[in-house]
Structure 1
Amino acid sequence: MPRITIQPFALTMSLDLRNLADKLRRYRQQFDATLPQVAESTGIPVEAMAALERGELSPSGDQILILADYYKCDFKFFISNDRLAPFEQTENLFRRFGDDLSAPDRWSIQEFLFLCENESFLAEELGRVPRDAFEFTKRGKFYKRHADEAAKALRTFLGYKSHEIPADIFHDFRRIGIHIFRRHLENSNISGIFIKHPTAGKCVLVNYSEDVYRQRFTATHEVGHSILDDKEDFVVSFKRWNREDLVEIRANAFAGHFLVPAAALAKIDSASLTPDSIVDFADRLRVNTDTLVFALKREGILTEVAARSFMGLRIPKGSKIDPELPPTLSARGRQTKHDLLRRGISTHYAQLCFDAYRQGVVSLGRLAEMMLGTEKELWEIGKLFGWSHEHES
């Protein structure tokens, strides 16, 4: 359950100071932060932070809340004498991919998981948890068969016709209980991450620095991991990957079958294909041209040689419509929503947050915290989601 803001609170239990010191030190090391950096961001003096990390100082309740807010974690993590799985999970993730994750990207992932925990909590409180979970059981050991069957099963579950093209896959995947967020990552070689969170469940992060059609593919690819590799705690997907990696091949195949089903290609005559028609058809399918070309080769419509001749074609950037940035938005509204998405705040998530505030589930301060901003920033953001604030004294 996400951290609940308490103002102020007193520690009523004895803390294992060595355990707390270990948590604080390991958290700081996860993010390559120095003691002066933590002190400057939290307002806790460097000397006090150093003493806390040595286990020589008992923190106040306010300090616990401040540190939990800084590290975007549940404050109970610090005051309990138990180790919580989410912390161990990110520590293992950062250790394994340390060379590929800059300090800003580590913070982005931590905030992404914070958003997932919040979304899970709010959906439960507001009675909006998806009731019909999608389930799929792999048969045999043929990975591409897994991908094909899982994609067909999910399309059927979502109610798509065999030839129908998904319009808003982010909405579709939230319908089956996946927490999916887009967020700018500094390392552009990372396309997406799947994390099986111990409390929030299946979580998918998509690199928002990519174009929207690539984001659609990445989101579907990571959902493929969540369905077909659900025994893993996390999977990090890179643009440049080992071409012999069967797990990545399977997730790619899943995305291809889901976004470009065979029935959508059934009437295509290979002799009529030109660079212009490939670009036009890919745009109508809402995929980049290489995804379409691979699908055409998959279905035997293009030979290997013909497929290579069509690789690398580009769809005009202006024709790609993001479902969360519709043309009906004003220029200012579009920029605000773009900035929110860049930070990980989806329309779905923001609406949950504002609805929770309207219904008294969270306080104004907690709302600002969940939106990764300040109370002052909420007034402008709220207008985009049909929320007008009347200040309550």
Structure 2
Amino acid sequence: MAADIQTIATRLKQIRKTLEYSIEDVCKTIDLPIERLTQIELAQTRPTGDEVLILASLYECDFRSLIDDSVPPPGELTDILFRRYGNTFSAVDRRSIQEFLHICQIESSLEGLLGIKKTPFPAPRVGNFYKGDGQATAKKLRSHLSHKENEVPHDIYADFRSIGVHILRQRLVNSDISGLYIQDPLAGHCVLINYNEDIYRQRFSVCHEVAHSIFDSSERVMLTYETHSSKYNKAELIEIRANSFASNYLMPVHLLQRIGTLDESNIAPWAQKFRVSVSALLKALKDAKLINQGTASKLRTIRVPTSAKIDPEAPENLTDSQRARRLSLLERGLSDYFVNLCFEAHYKELISTGRLIEALRISQSDLPEIAVLFGRTVNHGF
């Protein structure tokens, strides 16, 4: 249903303020007279169709959310997130997070067009045993996804996407942010991981945020910092549960029990097998009472070399230049999964070439290179 002129004006003004754009910033960026945008935001005139499309592109939202009463207003949940966590977010990070949410919405739409089915994970019954609930639910999810008893889950991004979680990794200015979760009314479960983090730390963070999607979706928005407070209030207990889930999904106790004696020569290889940091492995072993504090302190300075760490979305068969290009897309929030969805929808003539370029956030001149990088062709006639 088309929105009235006042609703359009209110939505445009609210999303601009949420993303910390001044009227001058917007008008300079899109080459629109200040007087014109001012009149639009004061509901003195209705924007043209082209103006709506241009503003929607700048504000990283579906144009329908600006003009259709039946579609939730843009930035509704990001505004809640930004207000809840105060001054955590710079203007750049606000816009990155809004972009992340828009990509999740596009991804959800493409999955629908392509008929991609998910295997939703039923919400667990939980009580006040936070660590135990995290551990038990991790075990149930591993079983739900048919992981073998002795299997270490390597491509956890594919795991969690298969149960309906949208996952993007994007570089944020605030390095204290580890990740965030948003329950979006259009896309559903949306998880953003800060690409500033170490690759193996990102694996733990995505498990942590997925735990929030499983246990805490009623909160609608949640933010995780790299470090937590030591207060055992309810919020902290929720974080402890999420950490327990993440640790037990990546490093089940029954697999940790097979490690045996640890020393300086084998701790890094064991961490590499689990694809976690040495510190995460030591904490999991200590929590499982398989090592003591002395052993943990002795080994905690050892590291898995950065060059040896494996990212499932940057295959080892790529050339150095291809790998660098792939990683540059990842840190902008464009996962392999999302890029391939876009190309597949275009190949099946479900979206146009123009829409493909728009979804990938690239220029037309970049399209051939990206297509080759992902082993795709472009139907320029569509």
Give the TM interval when normalised to the shorter protein. over 0.9
* Secondary structure in 2 matching 1:236: strand
Q: Could you state the TM-score of these two structures normalised by the residue count of structure 1?
A: 0.92
Pairing of 1:1-393 with structure 2 (within 5 A): 16-81=4-69, 84=72, 87-130=75-118, 132-243=119-230, 244=232, 245-269=236-260, 272-392=261-381
Q: Residue type matched to 2:248 in 1?
A: H
Separation (CA, whole Å) in 2 of partners of 1:298 and 1:55 = 59
Deviation at 1:313, TM superposition (A): 2.8
Separation (CA, whole Å) in 2 of partners of 1:257 and 1:81 = 44
* Secondary structure in 1 matching 2:161: helix
Deviations for 1:10-63, whole angstroms, at most 9, x for unmatched residues?
xx96x5333222222211111111112111222222221122122222211111
Q: Residue type matched to 1:335 in 2?
A: A
Q: 1:342 to 1:139 in 2, by over 3 A?
A: closer
Deviation at 1:160, TM superposition (A): 1.4
Q: Say how many residue pairs are matched.
A: 378
Query: What 5-or-longer segments of structure 2 have no aligned partner?
Result: none
Deviations for 1:121-176, whole angstroms, at most 9, x for unmatched residues?
1111111131x211132232211111011000001111112232111111111111
* Secondary structure in 2 matching 1:326: coil
Please say if residues 324 and 347 of structure 1, whose CA atoms lie closer than 8 Å, have aligned partners that are also in contact: yes
Q: 1:218 to 1:49 in 2, by over 3 A?
A: same
More deviation, 341-350/28-37: 28-37
Query: What 5-or-longer segments of structure 1 have no aligned partner?
Result: 1-11
Deviation at 1:185, TM superposition (A): 0.8
* Secondary structure in 2 matching 1:99: helix
* Secondary structure in 1 matching 2:86: coil
Please say if residues 168 and 323 of structure 1, whose CA atoms lie closer than 8 Å, have aligned partners that are also in contact: yes
Q: 1:312 to 1:24 in 2, by over 3 A?
A: farther
* Secondary structure in 2 matching 1:343: coil
Please say if residues 138 and 228 of structure 1, whose CA atoms lie closer than 8 Å, have aligned partners that are also in contact: no
* Secondary structure in 1 matching 2:178: strand
Deviation at 1:390, TM superposition (A): 5.0
Deviation at 1:254, TM superposition (A): 0.6
Please say if residues 163 and 261 of structure 1, whose CA atoms lie closer than 8 Å, have aligned partners that are also in contact: no
Separation (CA, whole Å) in 1 of partners of 2:145 and 2:239 = 24
More deviation, 142-151/276-285: 276-285
* Secondary structure in 1 matching 2:125: coil
Root-mean-square deviation (Å): 1.8
Please say if residues 21 and 52 of structure 1, whose CA atoms lie closer than 8 Å, have aligned partners that are also in contact: yes
Separation (CA, whole Å) in 2 of partners of 1:27 and 1:108 = 14
Deviations for 1:316-344, whole angstroms, at most 9, x for unmatched residues?
11110111112210122111111110110
Deviations for 1:222-276, whole angstroms, at most 9, x for unmatched residues?
111111112110111000212331111110111000100111122333xx32233
Separation (CA, whole Å) in 1 of partners of 2:373 and 2:69 = 42
Please say if residues 136 and 150 of structure 1, whose CA atoms lie closer than 8 Å, have aligned partners that are also in contact: no
Separation (CA, whole Å) in 2 of partners of 1:73 and 1:372 = 13
Deviation at 1:312, TM superposition (A): 4.0
